[in-house]
Amino acid sequence: MAGEVPNLEASKLTALVVDDNFVNQSVHHKLLDRLGIKNDVVSNGQEAVDVHCSGRNYDLILMDMDMPIMNGIQATRRLREMGIESKIAGVTTRAEEEEVKEFMEAGLNDFQEKPLTISKLVSILHNLELYVQT
Amino acid sequence: MQRQVALIKQSLFDQGYLDEQFMELEELQDDVNPNFVEEVATLYFKDSARLINSIDQALERGSFDFNRLDNYMHQFKGSSSSIGASKVKTECTMFREYCRVGNAEGCLMTFQQVKKEHATLRKKLEHYFQLARQAGPKETARRSK
């Protein structure tokens, strides 16, 4: 792991993990926890939409691509249609140019290839200007 | 005892069973979750057993729905990658290649390798975690929060 791990608890950032894989849910939740980012976890795009319909909002959404019921591309499009302006980072093992392009065009702000690590997560936060080192 | 645990862990990396992602998970262990890696590993083996069962049943039926098989293996590969299960991940990739070209025999052959590597890793990690627990908190909890 590179560098010092920032503690962003003071920033009160919140995040939503959207992934159908239990292992990834656990890892991504813990990664965010480690950075002091309070986070919720849902299992597919439909649940991500539903949680926003219930009035919840997040600074960052980590969106998997392949999920049952509603995939990441569909969910990202739907959230943007709903006017959700949260930063959405696509996190997936699929890295073919065409697939990434389609995912980005759905409304992502950033993209990272799995597996997610602390340094990749910090990179997402930097790219999305959610973390600026002082 | 702790030295023995360290040596066993090193051999898992040296023999290619685990990659740097496993170390990333270890870095996440703290006083709140001193057994985080073992918990994630348990989740992984439970989830992957389910996927193995699904693929087994699909292959036994004899009808090779390569799309469906590939979807199962995509999930399996994803989990394996997240935990740092390097050899399992490699075999998953091979299987997906055979799915891509519609090679049923290749799928059958590679799936045996997937199961073999999966079973070997499970056994080795169970042994490692058992020893790590006996060795005490120094090896499991890496940091204080």
Query: Which residue, among A28, A30, A93, would best test binding to B if mutated, counting the most B CBs under 10 Å from its CB?
Result: A30
ipTM: 0.85
Domain that holds residue A20: 14-125
Q: How confident is the model at residue B140 (pLDDT cuts 50, 70, 90)?
A: very low
SS3 state of residue B143:
strand
Q: How far apart are CA A124 and CA A87, in angstroms?
A: 10
At A44, which CATH number?
A: 3.40.50.2300
Q: How many CB pairs under 8 A join A and B?
A: 56
SS3 state of residue A87:
strand
Mean pLDDT of chain B: 91
Q: How many domains, chain A?
A: 1
Per-residue pLDDT of A56-66, as tens digits, reads: 999 999 999 99
For residue B137, say if its preceding peptide bond is cis, omega within 30 degrees of 0. Answer: no
Q: What was the pLDDT predicted at A134?
A: 52
pTM given for the model:
0.89
Q: Flag whether pLDDT at A131 surpasses 80.
A: no
**Percent of chain A whose pLDDT exceeds 90:** 80
Q: How far apart are CA B12 and CA A125, in angstroms?
A: 33
Residue A9 inside a domain? The answer is no
Q: What was the pLDDT predicted at A132?
A: 61
Per-residue pLDDT of A64-78, as tens digits, reads: 999 999 999 999 999
Residue A2 inside a domain? The answer is no
Cα of B35 to nearest chain A Cα, Å: 12
CB A130 within 8 Å of CB A59: yes
Per-residue pLDDT of A18-48, as tens digits, reads: 999 999 999 999 999 999 999 999 999 999 9
Q: Flag whether pLDDT at B143 surpasses 50.
A: no
Residue A56 inside a domain? The answer is yes
Residue A91 inside a domain? The answer is yes
Q: What was the pLDDT predicted at B31?
A: 87
Q: What was the pLDDT predicted at B138?
A: 57
Cα of A28 to nearest chain B Cα, Å: 10
